[in-house]
Amino acid sequence: MTILEMNASHVAQVAQLEKLCFSDPWSEKSVAGELENKLAYWLVAAEGDRVAGYVGSQTVLGETDMMNIAVHPDYRRQGLAERLVVELVAGLKAQGSRCLTLEVRASNTPAQKLYEKLGFCQIGRRPKYYRNPREDALILRKEWEI
């Protein structure tokens, strides 16, 4: 499994994973738009031509938001999401970002365990932030020295 920056050949599979993993997915057009977005930094985990997972982020003035992360059900619990986030943070550090902030559904225990393992701390909560179904978001952040 290789971790590399998302390119045009990955977009369709990333959009399919969005549909598979989220109730309010990004469209293929929105994912493709990130290739033109100078603030965006997206990584994929690929085995040959197959995209097994991805993480997307956007950085403004040295502060990064994680837009989304997902791993195909066939590839879960093999450390892929962890590798994606570790590589993302390494790349962000090299770009001069100081922190990574994200929102996670209050009921999403697997993702919360992942972020806890990677050293994220809860800094807030947004009531009823998500739709389909309506749910609070926990706001988590990881900071580092650059």
Residues that bind ligand COA (CB under 6 A): 21, 69-71, 76-82, 104, 108, 110-111, 113-114, 117
5 vs 82, beta carbon nearer ligand COA: 82
27 vs 146, beta carbon nearer ligand COA: 27
Active-site annotation holds for 115: yes
Amino acid identity for residue 39 in this structure: L
DSSP string, 70-128: EE-GGGTTSSHHHHHHHHHHHHHHHHT--EEEEEEETT-HHHHHHHHHTT-EEEEEEEE
**Beta-carbon contacts of residue 42 (< 8 Å; ≥ 6 apart):** 5, 6, 14, 34, 54, 55, 56, 57
Compute the least distance from the CB of residue 136 to ligand COA, in Å: 13
Compute the least distance from the CB of residue 112 to ligand COA, in Å: 8
Active-site annotation holds for 82: no
Catalytic residue among 87, 115, 130, 143: 115
Element containing residue 2 per DSSP (H, E): strand 2-5
Compute the least distance from the CB of residue 72 to ligand COA, in Å: 8
1 vs 32, beta carbon nearer ligand COA: 1
DSSP string, 9-41: GGHHHHHHHHHHH-SSPPPHHHHHHTTT-TTEE
Compute the least distance from the CB of residue 94 to ligand COA, in Å: 22
35 vs 118, beta carbon nearer ligand COA: 118
Catalytic residues: 103, 115
